[in-house]
Amino acid sequence: MRSRESGFGISLRRWMLWVGLTACAGLAQAQAAGTDTLLVEKGRLLAVAGDCVACHTAPKGGAPFAGGYRIESPLGAIVASNITPSRSAGIGDYTLDEFARSLRQGIRKDGAHLYPAMPYTAYTQLSDDDTAALYAYFMHGVAPVDTPAPQTELPFPFNLRISMAVWNALFLKDERFAPDASKTPEWNRGAYLAGALAHCSTCHTPRNALMAEQGDKAHLSGGSLGAWYAPNITSDANAGIGAWSEAELVQYLRTGRVAGKAQAAGPMAEAIEHSLQHLPEADLKAIAVYLKQVPGVASAEAKPRFAYGQASKSEIDQRGLKDGVDPGWRVFSGSCAHCHQENGTGTANGEYPSLFHNTATGADRPDNLVATILFGVDRTVGGKAHFMPAFGDAASFTDRLSDQEIADVSNYVLGQYGNPAVKVSIGDVQTLRSGGKPPLIAQLRPLIVPGIVVLVVLLVLIVALRSRSRRRVLRAH
């Protein structure tokens, strides 16, 4: 689908991208002017859809696109670069071709490779028109900042950027998005937005041993992001989002919350806050249409994540008891029930969600529940803050919960309100508190240097032995 570049495809793409803009001004005019405000504005909208700001603007008051934000990857912190038009510190002296090469092939102006923390594996699908618009925006719509961002310094062997050339050869599909003529324009728009710009698969597709997104069969079937887990968003009715209506998906992408289903936290809350809530309604609808048609990837789940649980009777059974009290309920009653109410119903006004019929408690893994308890929720949508305090290390001293307490309360919540088959151990909480289980390649890193030494020794031995045996053979003759 992606490789096909038919004449029809090009005209459809043009139509899709320019349908709103050509109403205001002619296509030829916009291109002739080059840097005119229309193109810059188009680039700005694309940059919002691509969520460039999430990484390239440091949180809490960083200058827009000046970089410096440390992206905590399992292999070490990768520092987002300064992409303002500063000639000294940013990308001010990039040509359009150089800009496109870094965006779509992951290669900087100086020829060094970017790490795929920059989702160039998704942006590679961007059309030439959109790349030009983004270039116009970053050259003329962003204020230059002359402060360079710190360098990324990953530990050996990941500091060898040239290794990414091999990685790219293996995993980068350097192809532009090609519309599928058998689908509606809306689906194609959704596929383009989800695949090229919003880079959903960067988080929602599982990764292989070399940290590359797995193939088509696992596309959008869920991936781990340190402590958080980006769930299966394929069309499967139980494992994915097949049981969501299009309107619910649009509402979720717009607000991060659908009562009785889910709320966004962690990286998804960031994506909604910075990017998705600002997209036009038609674009969100297109993404929903596309997601509802992504081939379903099933798992062992018997019902959708949002369908588990009911209000508890703990208040009736346990309030006032001196003995035989569930320690998890004790924590719940002291730390959670203020907002989620004594029976886990949440508030009727929807400010505090119910703990049942909630994807955080009904999933087949406890990651997002425990991560929510540890790190809280902080999502500003439409100028309104939605907040749950953290109970992990960032919490105030009096709010902090121990690994034991978090394991207890998680098991209570899962048993009463969520998927009772899921259990949480103290070890699970420890792992998530420290940022989740590192992928195999990161776990193996300490073995790489000794491994190389052992390999070299083995090679020397083999060569020595062979030459000796050959000499023996010669002597025998």
Partner 1 sequence: MSNPTTTDRSEDMSFPVSFPISRRALLGTAAVAGVALAVGGTAVLGTTNAFAADTASVDFLRLSEFLTGGKPLAQGLATRYQASMARLDPTFAAAATELQRYVSDAKAADIDALLARPDLGDPLRKTITQIVSAWYLGIVNNDTDVELIAYADALMYRPTADVLVVPSYGGGPDSWGQKPANLSTTPNKEMTR
By the rule CB under 8 A, 341 interacts with partner 1:
yes
x/- mask, partner 1, residues 44-63, rule CB under 8 A, reads --------------------
The CB-of-385 to partner 1 minimum distance in angstroms stands at 8
Q: How far is the CB of 376 from partner 1 (least distance, A)?
A: 15
**Is 337 or 426 the residue whose CB approaches partner 1 more closely?**
337
Cα separation, 458 vs 461, whole angstroms: 5
Least Å distance, CB 257 to partner 1, is 13
Min dist. Cβ of residue 252 to partner 1 (A): 20
Greatest Cα pair distance, the chain, in angstroms, is 94
Minimum CB–partner distance for residue 291 and partner 1 (Å): 30
Which residue among 111, 217, 351, 397 contacts partner 1 (CB under 8 A)? 351
Any idea which residue has 């150089």 for tokens?
Answer: 98
| 398 is a contact residue toward partner 1 (CB under 8 A) | no
The only residue of 180, 186, 342, 378 in contact with partner 1, by rule CB under 8 A: 342
Residue closer to partner 1 (CB basis): 344 or 436: 344
Non-local (6+) Cβ contacts of 140 within 8 A are 35, 40, 85
What's the length of the chain? 477
Angle of helix 403-417 versus helix 426-433 axis, rounded to 10: 110
Identity of the residue, 44 or 379, whose beta carbon is nearer to partner 1 in the bound complex = 379
Place of tokens 């324009």: 185
> Going by C-beta distance under 8 Å and a sequence separation of 6 or more, which residues neighbour residue 259?
350, 353, 354
Q: Per-residue string for binding with partner 1, 178-217, x by CB under 8 A?
A: ----------------------------------------
Provide CB contacts within 8 A for 369, sequence distance 6+: 360, 361, 363, 410, 413, 414, 418, 424
Q: What region does 401 belong to: left with phi over 0, alpha with psi -120 to 50, or beta?
A: beta
Number of amino acids touching partner 1 (CB under 8 A): 16
Enter the tokens of residue 114.
């970017």
- Taking the least distance from each CB to partner 1, the nearer of 235 and 314 is 314
Residue 371 beta carbon to partner 1: minimum distance, rounded to whole angstroms = 23
Residue nearer to partner 1 on the CB measure, 117 or 258: 258
Residue 11 binds partner 1 (CB under 8 A): no
Residue of 81, 73, 62 lying closest to 203 (CA atoms) = 73
> Nearest CA to 246 among 207, 307, 190, 300?
190
In the complex, what is the shortest distance from the CB of residue 310 to partner 1, in angstroms, rounded to a whole number?
15
State which residue, 316 or 476, has the beta carbon closest to partner 1. 316
State which of positions 106-165 bind partner 1 (CB under 8 A): none
Look up residue 52 and give its two tokens.
């460039």
Shortest Cβ 294–partner 1 spacing (Å) = 35
Q: How far is the CB of 391 from partner 1 (least distance, A)?
A: 16
Instruction: Give the whole-angstrom CA distance, residue 17 versus residue 73.
Output: 33
Q: CA nearest 159: which of 67, 77, 58, 103?
A: 77
The structure tokens listed for 100 are 């496109």
Give SS3 for 223: strand
Q: How far is the CB of 361 from partner 1 (least distance, A)?
A: 19
Q: Which amino acid is at 82?
A: N
338 in contact with partner 1 (CB under 8 A): yes
Among 3, 349, 396, 398, binds partner 1 (CB under 8 A): 349
Site residues for partner 1, window 298-337 (CB under 8 A)?
Answer: 313, 315-317, 319-320, 337
The answer for residues whose C-beta is within 8 angstroms of residue 119's C-beta and 6 or more apart is 199, 202
Contact residues for partner 1 (CB under 8 A)? 313, 315-317, 319-320, 337-339, 341-342, 347, 349-352
